[in-house]
């Protein structure tokens, strides 16, 4: 009888866990309400940066009339939970940039996820220059292109910024609503990493900063 009771209790625990997962969703993904607030904060901070003469990539004439970057409508489905695979076995390499400069990066890992029902993967990179800077030692970068580039978004691709601490138990949330343009989209004075071939997605990511044209 004791074994039967324990077995039934175990089944109830499994069912309770499954029900909780269905009702609360992913432990990493924010709720829709939280997500709206987070994206609004991201957009406000990005706009503030572009208005600030000390941080903005915009030429003075454009900055003076600047009000807001153009954004795609916020899309909760573009906030995805990915499986993160650590991979630091490769040697550092020279990242191609928009002006021929070749800063050193290293592969930090890969993320695997589904987008619009199709499996995807992206490589996560770490800058060796930023490793020497205390405030950015945990900084990671995901440069990517997708099928909106050159149409409804900047042709040279977009970036996602991450921190190592966002990786939890082999999982990482990528929110494409926070995808932004490299500075060279606004001025040729900047040198910007070009998304490597392995980060060219064959789906349209209609989220984040869009083209102003």
Instruction: List the structure tokens of 24.
Output: 């609360």
Tokens of 86: 């650590």
pTM: 0.86
Distance, in Å, from the CA atom of 125 to the CA atom of 87, rounded to the nearest integer, reads 10
Domain chopping of the chain, boundaries: 28-199
What integer pLDDT is reported at residue 26 of this predicted model? 63
Please give the pLDDT value at position 61. Answer: 94
Cα dihedral 2→4→5→10 (10° resolution): 130
| pLDDT (0 to 100) of residue 10 | 38
What is the reported pLDDT for 212?
A: 78
- pLDDT of amino acid 213: 64
Per the CB < 8 A criterion, the answer to whether 140 and 198 are in contact is no
Q: How many CA atoms within 13 Å lie on the side-chain side of 30?
A: 15
State residue 11's pLDDT score: 36
CB atoms within 10 A of CB 74: 17
Going residue by residue through the chain (213 aa), what tens digit of pLDDT does each one get?
A: 443 333 333 333 434 343 343 333 467 999 999 999 999 999 999 999 999 999 999 999 999 999 999 999 999 999 999 999 999 888 999 999 999 899 999 999 999 999 999 999 999 999 999 999 989 999 999 999 999 999 999 999 999 999 999 999 999 999 999 999 999 999 999 999 999 999 999 999 999 999 976
Q: Rg for the chain (alpha carbons), in Å?
A: 20
């Amino acid at each position: 009888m004791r074994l039967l009771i324990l077995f039934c209790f175990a089944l109830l625990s499994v069912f309770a866990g499954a029900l909780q997962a269905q009702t609360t969703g992913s432990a990493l993904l924010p709720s829709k309400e939280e997500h709206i607030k987070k994206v609004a904060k991201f957009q406000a901070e990005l706009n503030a940066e572009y208005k600030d003469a000390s941080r903005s990539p915009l030429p003075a004439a454009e900055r003076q009339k600047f009000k807001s970057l153009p954004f795609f409508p916020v899309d909760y489905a573009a906030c995805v939970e990915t499986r993160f695979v650590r991979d630091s076995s490769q040697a550092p390499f020279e990242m191609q940039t928009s002006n021929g400069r070749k800063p050193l990066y290293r592969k930090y890992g890969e993320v695997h996820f589904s987008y619009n029902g199709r499996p995807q993967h992206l490589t996560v990179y770490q800058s060796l220059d930023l490793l020497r800077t205390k405030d950015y030692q945990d900084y990671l970068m995901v440069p990517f292109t997708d099928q909106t580039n050159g149409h409804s978004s900047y042709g040279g691709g977009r970036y996602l910024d991450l921190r190592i601490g966002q990786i939890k138990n082999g999982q990482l949330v990528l929110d494409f609503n926070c995808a932004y343009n490299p500075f060279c989209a606004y001025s040729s004075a900047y040198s910007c990493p070009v998304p490597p071939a392995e980060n060219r997605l064959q789906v349209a990511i209609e989220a984040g900063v869009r083209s102003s044209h």
